[in-house]
Structure 1
């Protein structure tokens, strides 16, 4: 069964994300538990959580993913930022348990001078400080790879899975992969890229995909999302990707823009059309 949905707002109550998802035609999805631009704790009371769980069950929407704050930097060598990042992540995995959400998604962040090896060690040890509730898994998201950010190389993802004592898995973002230099613009490119992911990381670790087209060329490290099939990955690449054996059973979460009269509903329908 195709699982496709969008990143929905929790404005007015986290349960509103479920209703918005259903309205958009989705059956899985992602949320922030608070504004991702500030250090803030999830503010979800028991009644909200219960309604979210009930509505998700009633409408058959799931799995859901919590996306961590953009401020979290697991690779940082700065102790104060590390402490804030670990504290924020702990609150996110606890919120996931409360909402019966199985995944919390996080970027590794930037090593800011610690070097690749030092940054990966920092991230692994920060993740190891978390007390992850049963039934919740932290997903490391692939990155576009600009500056000193880690996660753009599949080898970074594999190293984190190896170095951390946590039972981690991976979320691939198609726009980030493309920006980082992994071509997805043709059936052959999709096959080669996903085979490389399987060889380096392992297909068994892929639990979610952020499905986004790209407004920029492959390898530019520029992260700007486009409508499905209308960016530089394009229709042929997107069709090959969503129909690939490695992807068919993986939930697809859209972070596409709302522009040109097209929103999440248009993009969700586009994915359904591309799935053979």
Structure 2
């Protein structure tokens, strides 16, 4: 059996290296970070000493792979030149930070086409990504979305569309709560089988490099993105168990973005994943 790689989205407060210690304390062995506040465009600097401490702490404790989650403000699909320019600039800083930290992945949502249409939005996203100078050893992951409004990424065809259009070597990150909200029923073993088979057919499982493992507070197909504790939302225990143990997903690292409420922390959720893994 492949070793389970599971972790959580950890804070970098007090230094980016603290995220490694925090995920170890939570019982995890991989993780995700923001390099700066995701609600602002301003990126802080990560000095070489801080980056070296992150790399060495992660290596010494065999914690990885890590993924950087890009800013929530980034909109690759936008038809607006100023927003596109800011988005590309922000993403360039993220891939550069990833190289500095020895992090192999930068995760990004496609964003909203805001009237450009699905095809126009996918064209915009692909061409925006092609403006990046991505360092060796770093890969941009396109994340599946809950698909509300004009946001793209809710349909697996959108993910495939960007990968097909873009000259960059891109891969994907599947968010279970987003996929469920977008209409892919992960609440039963049969539903998980059908969803993974469709993902393989449309995108190709060779492109699935990371999973955001989250349960959902809302019904399948509602396009509502609100995460729940593992096994305690509407995906539920059966769906989560089937997903975590799916034979095609055993090598894919799982990172949790579960809530910290009801006295249940990342540590509780990581332990829950371990219990569900057969």
TM range (shorter): over 0.9
Describe the superposition over 1:103-135 as per-residue Cα deviations: whole angstroms up to 9, x where unpaired. 000000000000000000000000000000000
Give the 3-state SS of the residue equivalent to 2:99 in structure 1: helix
Name the SS for the 2:211 alignment partner: strand
Q: 1:192: which partner in 2?
A: 194
* CA deviation after TM superposition for structure 1 residue 41, in Å: 1.4
Aligned partner of 1:47 among 39, 46, 49? 49
Offset at residue 73 of structure 1 (A): 0.1
State yes or no: 1:143 paired with 2:145: yes
The Cα of 1:40 is off from its aligned counterpart by 1.3
Q: What residue in structure 1 maps to residue 263 of structure 2? A: 261
Gaps of 5+ in 1: none
Q: Does the 8 Å CA contact 1:34/1:43 hold for their aligned counterparts?
A: no
> What does residue range 120-269 of structure 1 map to in structure 2 within 5 Å?
120-269=122-271
Q: Give the Å deviation of 1:42.
A: 3.8
* Equivalent residues of 1:90, 1:130 under 8 A apart: yes
- Distance in structure 2 (CA, Å) of the matches to 1:180 and 1:256: 18
For the residues of structure 2 that align with 1:183 and 1:38, how far apart are their CA atoms? 34
Distance 1:41 1:215 in 2: 32
- The 3-state SS of whatever aligns with 2:258 is coil
**Could you tell me how far apart the structure 2 residues matched to 1:42 and 1:25 are?**
29
C-alpha separation between the residues in 2 aligned to 1:138 and 1:175?
21
Question: Alignment partner of 2:67: what SS?
Answer: strand
Q: Is the contact made by 1:72 and 1:88 (CA closer than 8 Å) also made in structure 2?
A: yes
The alignment partner of 2:243 has SS state of: helix
Scaled by the length of structure 2, what TM-score is found?
0.99
Once the two structures are TM-superposed, the CA of residue 43 in structure 1 deviates from its matched residue by: 2.1
Secondary structure of the structure 2 residue equivalent to 1:77 = coil
Alignment coverage as a number of residue pairs: 276
Q: How far is the alpha carbon of 1:95 from its aligned partner?
A: 0.2
Report the CA distance between 1:245 and its aligned residue: 1.2
The separation in 2 between residues aligned to 1:9 and 1:75, in whole angstroms, is: 28
Q: Bigger shift: 33-42 or 22-31? A: 33-42
